Structure 1
């Protein structure tokens, strides 16, 4: 084939691949496009962009992704979940259990990882007995967002605020616990209303779920060690040990993590800190003012509805040092419009159910309003 014919064909293939990646990873695509636009409008030396990245947060996230991937590959979580559900005898009881399981897992394994365990579990249980699947998935999504508020490991925005604030793990948990407990209480009240006491028959769930016990044991030890090292600001040592250990023993735990999520975080830091440095943006936020706790809280809760709570935390942290108020705000911002938290988008995608978006917002927007009022009240009185 002549070179002149090969070139257009190769170009079409490249364009098609780029379009496929953009469709599959719209967040990354938007961030890359935004960076190009920013560099055209307000150019900065490319070499200086790396200074915008909070490497402590990125490295901590990388270590957590490796360890949680190892736990996921061990099969322990699915085994445990299937063992537990057989103690449940009603639709409402199952909803309570899955909400609690999702929230508990999200405190240690991040809200996204919790969804990848609990939503598939709900789908497999739905095959065994009729369940209100859409409603169940929506409540699971709300649960991982509410439960993940508790710890620095629960979600990416908490991880970022923990690392940048410099407070200890325990201090962070004590500060966020009231909001987490209050929102989980509201969620359980709603579940009591919207799920019935119908009897369930799960006797057909007899499929074996093997567990790689050495892998889950090592992962548990390394998880504890990594968190302790990250808490003492030695995340590089922790990541090196975790990555090297698994690469030598179980390389799949390292090679199959969500590398694109790490790349998205890198671009988020560059783009959002570049946006925050724009004179007109700085002037606008300075004029509005988010110096008081309540204003920082409101900014986090509202801005998250437009750009998601992780980018909101990264951008607004440039204008306030009140990490607790901002953490409250972006935590509440995970509810409301689906884009408020990437976990919402993951839950809807995993459900494979049509008509999910409307039903999701019928629950999530009122929950955002109620949680917004609760968060403001707690912030003012604690």
Structure 2
């Protein structure tokens, strides 16, 4: 028991994001104490249960050996690093338009890691581009991310009208990203470092995981995340226990603290008083406010908070779309991707690329605002 607690403490101690959130939580509780009930009310249980279920499913798929098998075939078809990177970025962006940005990441990041196990792919750089890709791609549809779904439901727009509204900025962001990606990866040929598994795919485990994945996403999208999570946990405990027990529990803790801390900050009287001085009914102000506020409290809370001050839905939608870039906290998808990379250096490398991209995207979004 003591050894287990020591191991947990060592992991917590080495996780800077978790330590920062814990410190912010303590400061917030001192400045404005909240009851246990109020703290629990801030947690988006649907998101946490969905995240936990996805962690289990992607771990099961990874343990089936299928991703290594697929990685080999991709490397045979796309023999240069640039072509492979462009394919992965495009695939991630397309997937995020329908399955949300976090679900898309859980599909493509493990695949990218499988590629890196058998060929000299610059995995950290690729994961950074995948994070940016799902932020760009998910901006297109109401299904792409939580803030889009929230704004779409409150705006009263039709699904098609929302997609038409977001098409120019999405295409512009993707064009920018693909150009940068083409320069970031060269045309050197990729050679196998080792022969990966050929016949050791655990097909029964894969089919079970894929079937559970389809049912899970359907149930979660219809508001039954708790039942979906419970079903996945029970089945996987029976067929592959480590897929449940071995997930990244600290990532779940980080997301819980993100909701508690960021929603606590957003609800501060001082924060609301400051926001009350701005006229967010004005398009550029609503756009700029959403884009900038997302950098500090993430784009989902920013959309929810600013919707109380503005009904300029196009400006808010464009603002939180752009706000997903820049600082890692701008989008929860960024945090998922960077955590899955399991590297300390990637956090710095991400910001070297994401912050300049955010500054250019700010201008792109502002131009797009003139057309909606």
**Structure 2-normalised TM-score?**
0.76
1:117 aligns with 2:111: yes
User: C-alpha displacement at 1:39, in angstroms?
Assistant: 2.4
- With over 3 angstroms needed to count, the CA separation of the structure-2 counterparts of 1:21 and 1:84, relative to structure 1, is closer
- Structure 1 residues 285-342: Cα deviation after superposition (integer angstroms, max 9, x where no partner): 1222445565444233223334555665576566667777555434422323455456
Asked if structure 1 preserves the Cα contact closer than 8 Å seen for 2:49 and 2:226, the reply is yes
1:232 aligns with 2:222: yes
- With over 3 angstroms needed to count, the CA separation of the structure-2 counterparts of 1:354 and 1:182, relative to structure 1, is same
Asked if structure 2 preserves the Cα contact closer than 8 Å seen for 1:119 and 1:351, the reply is no
Q: Which segments of 5 or more consecutive residues in structure 2 lack a partner in the other structure?
A: none
Indicate the structure (1 or 2) with the bigger Cα radius of gyration: 1
Whole-angstrom CA distance in 2 between matches of 1:380 and 1:218: 48
1:278 aligns with 2:268: yes
Identify the residue that residue 191 of structure 2 maps to in structure 1.
202
> Over aligned residue pairs, what C-alpha RMSD do you find?
4.0
Where 1:336 maps in the other structure, the secondary structure is coil
- With over 3 angstroms needed to count, the CA separation of the structure-2 counterparts of 1:166 and 1:224, relative to structure 1, is farther
- With over 3 angstroms needed to count, the CA separation of the structure-2 counterparts of 1:373 and 1:150, relative to structure 1, is same
- With over 3 angstroms needed to count, the CA separation of the structure-2 counterparts of 1:220 and 1:133, relative to structure 1, is closer
Q: Which segments of 5 or more consecutive residues in structure 1 lack a partner in the other structure?
A: 1-9
Identify the residue that residue 219 of structure 1 maps to in structure 2.
209
Aligned partner (choices 302, 325, 329) of residue 292 of structure 2? 302
Whole-angstrom CA distance in 2 between matches of 1:59 and 1:355: 27
Whole-angstrom CA distance in 2 between matches of 1:247 and 1:342: 28
Identify the residue that residue 90 of structure 2 maps to in structure 1.
100
- With over 3 angstroms needed to count, the CA separation of the structure-2 counterparts of 1:63 and 1:323, relative to structure 1, is farther
1:139 aligns with 2:129: yes
- With over 3 angstroms needed to count, the CA separation of the structure-2 counterparts of 1:90 and 1:53, relative to structure 1, is closer
Asked if structure 2 preserves the Cα contact closer than 8 Å seen for 1:137 and 1:351, the reply is no
Whole-angstrom CA distance in 2 between matches of 1:377 and 1:343: 25
Q: After alignment, is 100-109 or 328-337 more displaced?
A: 100-109
